[in-house]
Chains A and B, each alone.
Chain A
Amino acid sequence: MIQKELKIINRLGLHARPAALIAQTAAGFTSEIELTKDNVTINAKSIMGVMMLAAEFGSSIRITTNGSDEVQAAEALEKLFSDKFNEEF
């Protein structure tokens, strides 16, 4: 199991588009992937779950991956966050 704290650094936060990217990316791995913010934990493969986190700019999110490809999954998600979900150019 891998856990990482990630910060939201894109200005608009986890709105529909970044949420879609997270859900799509997460769905590409067999591991269980969860996101936690303020004691709310959701399945990262559910776009509505991700949107419901209402994670705004500056908030931090804990990702938990668990399974055979947990390392790659955590890395892929970390890259999405640090690339600001390809939102700001």
Chain B
Amino acid sequence: MLVLKGIPASPGIAIGKAVLLPGQTLTVSKHYIALEAVDRELAKLEHALQKTLQELDESAVKVRETLGPEYASLMDTHKLILQDPALKGTVIQKIKQDFLTAHSAISLAVQELAANFDKIEDPFFKERRNDIYDAGKRLLANLEGNKKDFLASIKKPSLLVAHDLFPSDTIALPENQILGFCTDIGGKTSHTALLAQSLNIPAVVGLSTASKDVANGDTLIIDGENGLLVINPDRYTLANYRQIKRELKKTESLLKTINHLPVVTQDGRRVHLYVNYDPRTDNKFNKTLITDGLGLLRTEFLFMNTPVPPSEEAQYKIYLAVAKRFDMRPATIRLADLGADKMPDFPLDELDDDDNPFMGCRGVRLLLKNPDLLHTQLRAIVHTACEVPAQIKIMIPMVSSVEEVRHVRAAFNKTLEEFAKTGKKPLNKIALGAMIEVPAAAIALDGMINELDFISIGTNDLIQYLVAVDRVNPEVAHMYDPCHPAVGRTIHSIIQTAHKRNKFVSICGEIASDSKMLPLLLGWQVDGLSVTPRMYLRVKNNIRNSNFEHCCDLAQAALLMGSSAEIRALVEDNNHENS
């Protein structure tokens, strides 16, 4: 039995036999072919090469038209690498003389050539080996014309293990045959995670070595609740997980019965429960959910994987569909939080060489330095509000000062005036609020709250900045602690400051769906929470089982505590009593 720890991407437990998605990664093992197969492998190589070159030409044309020839030459670099006699010649030689499969031959040739770059001392040039890896992977991806066939050939319900999965792969996924999947790479908001959520199956991503540690036919447990992958579990573990799975299933069906009931505590406190919505992962289940509205539409995806920023028209189409989907309920659209780990492909001002991107030019800072980006997005949102009578709320990410709020407000008012000149105006007033995730904004909130219509606390980043811990750094990740006294006190003080001016406060971030932390959030009198569709009914059920007065007592007690250990003991004891 081997247990790997990854990132939970989609909740639930899946148990079954493993199938490995073949050939996406550079292999280190040598697979041999018979003499008669040499021509077939050479033909496969040539076919993949032509297809890859054609793809590169197509994207180069697109980039040249939109960005100019300087950028298109990056595509040419990959083309030249693939045609370079040093690479192509080596691959052909490995097939003809060493009788390797095209896949092995390409993998080995790429790795040999890249190894030459490892000897270079200058780190800048050393990094150039990545260009060779990338070009090699493009080629491999096209070599596996059989990948689709492979996926379609899965006839038994299985758990899919892959180095990475692409949206295009899912089209080929046989319906109801994939019970869950896990991947080596990816994070909570990566395309693989989104994919799992849209398929409504358990998934764990970011397992690093899963595709190497798992063999076809291994028994696997994918624990999407805790982000674990268990390979060949012992009898005890297997029995234990079967039990947990049964209980989860029971809870799921029980939860459906509360869908139409109001979100109130046992003693009648109304809490607004919103959903974090992503149009890419909408599915049948999500559509059945009755919610208080859309708490967070992340718009970054519109700006990623595109050589040019999205046009007003393209954004408008998406926002309009979202506004219609949520009808008259609030729909909160967050302005693009680009920068940090979400770097677009198109060039932007002030985005070169950011050594510490989380403290660098991201969110509203980036938008104010690229006013066209901000203006286009505001226009698309206002345009939407002119067409449908929706309750649209605009949320500004990464605000740290009142000046930033004023600048965005000015740009927003300018946009409204532009529309007014053409005789158009929003059918309902658009609210402008901020995401409070920078400690400076939390502490000095009284200075900007008058200029905001609402606020939402972005706890993932707020906690990270408060305790100065990068969650992806394994040395300190354990210090990322929602129970830290500073976290509770900050959230409480934000809510108090906002309530003094009668401003609505909601919380988004993982803490909102953490059943142990929920009583504290309710007790600090938060007005709303925003959670993922998958967690929606669970959180609703927890709220409906809470007693607001009891939560207030608990939350007051937590504010007086001086250590994480005390607060953790408090919420855990409370959790045990309830369950």
Given A15-B128, A20-B76, A86-B70, check contact A51 B117 (CB 8 Å). yes
CB pair B131–A16 under 8 Å, yes or no, is yes
CB pair B116–A47 under 8 Å, yes or no, is no
User: Is the CB of B411 closer than 8 A to any CB of chain A?
Assistant: no
Within 8 A of A (CB), among B67-88: 70, 73-74, 76-77, 80-81, 84-87
User: Is the CB of B403 closer than 8 A to any CB of chain A?
Assistant: no
Q: Which A residues are CB-close (under 8 A) to B124?
A: 12-13, 15, 56
User: Is the CB of B479 closer than 8 A to any CB of chain A?
Assistant: no
CB pair B81–A15 under 8 Å, yes or no, is no
CB pair A24–B128 under 8 Å, yes or no, is no
Q: Which B residues are CB-close (under 8 A) to A46?
A: 84-86
Q: Which A residues are CB-close (under 8 A) to B121?
A: 54
Alpha-carbon gap, A43 to B125, bound state (A): 18
Q: Which A residues are CB-close (under 8 A) to B117?
A: 51-52
CB pair B122–A20 under 8 Å, yes or no, is no
Alpha-carbon gap, A56 to B76, bound state (A): 21
Alpha-carbon gap, A1 to B453, bound state (A): 75
CB pair B80–A56 under 8 Å, yes or no, is no
Given A13-B124, A46-B86, A54-B122, check contact A20 B73 (CB 8 Å). yes
Min Cβ gap B156→A in Å is 44
User: Is the CB of A48 closer than 8 A to any CB of chain B?
Assistant: yes
Q: Which of A17, A51, A52, A86 has the most CB of B within 10 A?
A: A51
Within 8 A of A (CB), among B57-115: 70, 73-74, 76-77, 80-81, 84-87, 113
Q: Which B residues are CB-close (under 8 A) to A48?
A: 81, 84, 86-87, 113, 116, 132
Given A16-B128, A24-B80, A46-B86, check contact A52 B74 (CB 8 Å). no
User: Is the CB of B120 closer than 8 A to any CB of chain A?
Assistant: yes
* Residue of chain B at shortest CB distance from A87: B70
Within 8 A of B (CB), among A23-59: 23-24, 43, 45-49, 51-52, 54, 56
* Residue of chain A at shortest CB distance from B87: A48
User: Is the CB of A8 closer than 8 A to any CB of chain B?
Assistant: no
Interface size class of chain B, counting residues whose CB lies under 8 Å from the partner chain: 20 to 34
Alpha-carbon gap, A48 to B136, bound state (A): 13
Q: Which A residues are CB-close (under 8 A) to B116?
A: 48, 52
Within 8 A of B (CB), among A47-87: 47-49, 51-52, 54, 56, 86-87
CB pair A21–B85 under 8 Å, yes or no, is no
Alpha-carbon gap, A75 to B87, bound state (A): 28
Q: Which of A13, A19, A49, A54 contacts B77 (CB 8 A)?
A: A19
Q: Which A residues are CB-close (under 8 A) to B73?
A: 17, 20-21
Q: Which of B81, B87, B120, B131 contacts A54 (CB 8 A)?
A: B120
Q: Which B residues are CB-close (under 8 A) to A87?
A: 70
Alpha-carbon gap, A24 to B87, bound state (A): 16
Q: Which B residues are CB-close (under 8 A) to A43?
A: 85
* Residue of chain A at shortest CB distance from B85: A46
Interface string of B284-306 (1 = CB under 8 A from A): 00000000000000000000000
Min Cβ gap B120→A in Å is 5
CB pair A52–B77 under 8 Å, yes or no, is no
* Residue of chain A at shortest CB distance from B125: A54
CB pair A47–B125 under 8 Å, yes or no, is no
Q: Which B residues are CB-close (under 8 A) to A16?
A: 74, 77, 128, 131
Q: Which A residues are CB-close (under 8 A) to B86?
A: 46, 48-49
CB pair A23–B125 under 8 Å, yes or no, is no
Min Cβ gap B241→A in Å is 48
Min Cβ gap B180→A in Å is 39
Min Cβ gap B64→A in Å is 14
CB pair A56–B125 under 8 Å, yes or no, is yes
Q: Which of A49, A51, A56 contacts B131 (CB 8 A)?
A: A51
Alpha-carbon gap, A49 to B76, bound state (A): 16
Q: Which of B74, B84, B87, B122 contacts A17 (CB 8 A)?
A: B74
Alpha-carbon gap, A44 to B132, bound state (A): 17
Within 8 A of A (CB), among B137-190: none
CB pair A17–B77 under 8 Å, yes or no, is yes
Given A13-B124, A15-B125, A52-B117, check contact A47 B77 (CB 8 Å). yes
CB pair A24–B125 under 8 Å, yes or no, is no
* Residue of chain B at shortest CB distance from A21: B73
Min Cβ gap B33→A in Å is 26
CB pair B70–A51 under 8 Å, yes or no, is no
Min Cβ gap A42→B in Å is 9
Min Cβ gap A46→B in Å is 5
Given A17-B77, A24-B76, check contact A52 B87 (CB 8 Å). no
Alpha-carbon gap, A13 to B123, bound state (A): 13
Alpha-carbon gap, A12 to B353, bound state (A): 13
The 6 closest A-B CB pairs, nearest first, are A54-B125, A47-B80, A20-B77, A16-B77, A54-B120, A51-B128
Chain A contacts to B: CB under 8 angstroms: 12-13, 15-17, 19-21, 23-24, 43, 45-49, 51-52, 54, 56, 86-87
Chain B contacts to A: CB under 8 angstroms: 70, 73-74, 76-77, 80-81, 84-87, 113, 116-117, 120-122, 124-125, 128, 131-132
For this complex, 16 residue pairs linking A to B, each with C-beta atoms less than 8 Å apart, are A16-B77, A17-B74, A19-B77, A20-B73, A20-B77, A20-B80, A21-B73, A24-B80, A45-B85, A48-B81, A48-B116, A48-B132, A51-B131, A52-B117, A56-B125, A87-B70
Q: Besides A16-B74, A46-B84, A52-B120, 16 other CB < 8 A contacts?
A: A13-B124, A15-B125, A16-B77, A16-B128, A16-B131, A20-B73, A20-B76, A20-B77, A21-B73, A46-B86, A47-B77, A48-B81, A49-B84, A51-B131, A52-B117, A56-B125
